[in-house]
Amino acid sequence: MKAISRLGLIVVFGLASLLASQKYDMEQKGALDMSYNKHIYGTPQIEAIKNWGLGTHTAGVISGSVIEGNGGSIEPLTMGQPIQGIRGWNGLGELFTTLQEKYFAIIFLCILLFVPLAFFGHYKIIGARKYNHHSKLQVFNKYNIIVHWFAAVPFVLICITGLMMIFGDKLGGGTLIRFARDLHGLSTPVFIVFGFLMFLMWVKDCLPRSYDIKWLIIMGGYLDKQNRIIPAHKFNAGQKMWFWIATLGGGVMAFTGGVMFFQCTDINTLRLVAIVHNVLGFAVLALLITHIYMAAFAIEGAMEAITNGQMGEEELSMLHSYYYEELKAKGKLDSMRVAGH
């Protein structure tokens, strides 16, 4: 009985000591600190739990934060060293979360609504350009056409599926959005191959020239109802802008998308590439809509240029006057004329 009594006293004494110790620790340490801690995520600690990275191979926070982890970063950027807080750009957690939750989706929505609306107004007020197409010239060959479409189709699919993922919660999520994600990823390698071929094919013709400034000043004549001679070579300044955004910009989009998909860097760099991916996406989407409008609606018969490679001679002589004059000076016009036109 004495042994049992002693054991009971030891247990009671131990519990009392433990409670006293915990009370002392709470008095010394205070309540859990939820204040701003830029050394961890750059956001309030409780928000860090919700943020990108937790539960993945890039997750890992330092001792003393809400959750302790031993996440390791991925070679070769950090040689596989354990994450010690967030290296590099302090504060991106808060910036990324704010942009992701409040701005990205609404900006994409505004582009989807207002850019087509602006072109609808242009079509109603100014109308489509009309030129005589009785005489046609073979401007683009079959290789140009094939490369263009094999780059264009996956590019458009990437844009559509990307928007589906952005508005995934509004579309109900689930199988549809997972399919969009997979199609987004599968379309990217196809675009990379043919986008690179398109870059090599037209990079020389799309280098900026001094007369491109004149084109931009008059907006290519598209704000005028009257047809007039426009300063442009094989591609005008607007087409050149689209070329560089679609090829180099598309390449950056593919790279940043790959980094996010494979999560092959630390969490803060993931946030940086996500911001770049979305911001560049604004320009890509706006110019893609512009490109489609110009090809399908702004100029009557313009789609032929990239379906069969033919352009009306009058259209070429006025909208691409420098190119037409160069062909004329070199005596190439007769060889480019399409039989029967």
Considering the domain boundaries, does residue 125 fall inside one?
no
Q: Is 72 a member of any domain?
A: no
Amino acid at 45: Q
As a three-state string, the secondary structure of 55-105 is CCCCCCCCCCCCCCCCCECCCCCCCCCECCCCCCCCCHHHHHHHHHHHHHH
Residue 188 lies in a domain: no
Domain count, the chain: 1
pLDDT in tens, 12-37: 445 455 444 444 444 444 444 444 44
Convert the pLDDT of each residue in 134-174 to its tens digit: 899 999 999 999 999 999 999 999 999 999 999 998 999 89
Range of the domain at 308: 90-119+132-140+209-336
b/e map of 297-335 (b: 16 or more CB within 10 Å)?
Answer: bbbebbebbbeebbbbbbbbbbbbbbbbeebeeeeebee
In a domain, 162, yes or no: no
Average pLDDT for the chain: 81
In a domain, 257, yes or no: yes
Residue 14 lies in a domain: no
Q: What is the pLDDT of residue 92?
A: 78
Read off the DSSP letter of residue 168: T
Single-letter amino acid code for the residue at 97 = T
Q: Which whole number is the average pLDDT over 173-177?
A: 91
Could you check whether the bond before residue 76 is cis, i.e. omega within 30 degrees of 0? yes
pLDDT at 91: 55
Domain-located, residue 245:
yes
CB 191 within 8 A of CB 149: no
The pair phi, psi for residue 31, each rounded to 5°, is -70, 165
Q: For 92-96, 133-137, 236-240, 275-279, which range has the lowest pLDDT when averaged over its residues? A: 92-96
- CATH code for the domain in which residue 257 is found: 1.20.950.20
